[in-house]
Amino acid sequence: MASRNNLVGSKTLSMVALILLSLARLSVGERRELQLEQIPPTDELSFHGGAVLHGDISVYIIWYGNFKAEQKAIVVDFIESLTSKPAASTPSVAQWWNTIYKVYLSNATAGGDTRFLLANQVADEQYSLGKSLTLLQVFQLAAGALPKKGALALVLTDPGVVVEGFCSVRCGLHGADAGAGYAYAWAGDAASQCPGQCAWPFARPSYGPQDKPLGAPNGDVGVDGMMVTLASMVAGAVTNPFRDAYYQGEKDAALEASTACAGVYGSGSYPGYAGNVPVDKATGSSYNAIGAGGHKYLLPAVYDPAKPGCSTLV
């Protein structure tokens, strides 16, 4: 695992001027806070002709703050499970991604598989940019990992890090450097800041229906909630990395593959109810997908324009 010295060196700092000049070109998608309600499409979520990420997608993970080994394992298992062989008998992360591939990527590329390859992990336990980050600094962290063209950089922040707009208007976002040709996504652990906004349905919501929260799949409300956001942002970053591929509505406030199905995790869902999802009898936790490494996840539904409607694993 690389040290943070590589991330905040002179090369990264020298990029700041370029970042400021090109920030308007960066595509940004967001998972809004407290997504209890499915937003019905008002027009068709369609392909606008832009590029998607495909082929071998190198993934760079930037751990900003302090994460336990098991918390990291949950994230890594998710990434490595996306393009693993789907299990036939149980809903899996690979099946979830296969839906995205069939609905979106197979129509936008010349064919061939899409694989996620974990390229590098960088730990920044000393909070090199402080504990209060702007969106520009989130991009700096992603850029500092030196992702190559066609790559995906993931910036994950621990519960003590405040990110611009976190909890108030967003739970995560994705964007891209169109010039360099890579995408990035950010998601934060909301356990101590706003579990009711960004860790639902594993925490009681701050407003709306006050049903009993679901059990967190891995027993970690903050990280399991972060994984819901991360999954949505990965789906958007791959299918609409530069704001001109798959989306619905206005570019700057677009609905994408998973955000068009906000709050939907299983069949029979409705505002405030995640849907019918399996419950682990031993732990009481709720999930709808299992990773290749055995971790469980609650993954957002995928919008399928052909139905039209939201496709769930269960």
| 231: CB partners within 8 A, 6+ apart | 78, 96, 258, 297, 299, 300
The helix, strand and coil proportions of the chain, stated in percent and rounded to the nearest 5, come to 25, 25, 50
Report pLDDT digits (tens) over 103-147. Answer: 999 877 656 788 999 999 999 999 999 999 999 999 999 999 999
pTM of the model: 0.88
Nearest to 230 by CA among 113, 65, 77, 125: 77
Answer whether 267's CB lies under 8 Å from 312's CB. yes
CA distances from 255 to 29, 216, 219, 246 (A): 8, 26, 30, 9
Q: Is the four-CA dihedral 69, 71, 74, 78 of positive or negative sign? A: negative
Residue 114 near residue 101, CB atoms below 8 Å: yes
What count of other Cβ atoms lies within 10 Å of the Cβ of residue 240? 32
pLDDT for 43-101, tens place per residue?
Answer: 689 999 999 999 999 999 999 999 999 999 999 999 999 998 876 668 999 999 999 99
Residues in the chain: 314
Cβ atoms within 10 Å, residue 196: 18
Query: How does residue 17 score in pLDDT terms, banded at 50, 70 and 90?
Result: very low
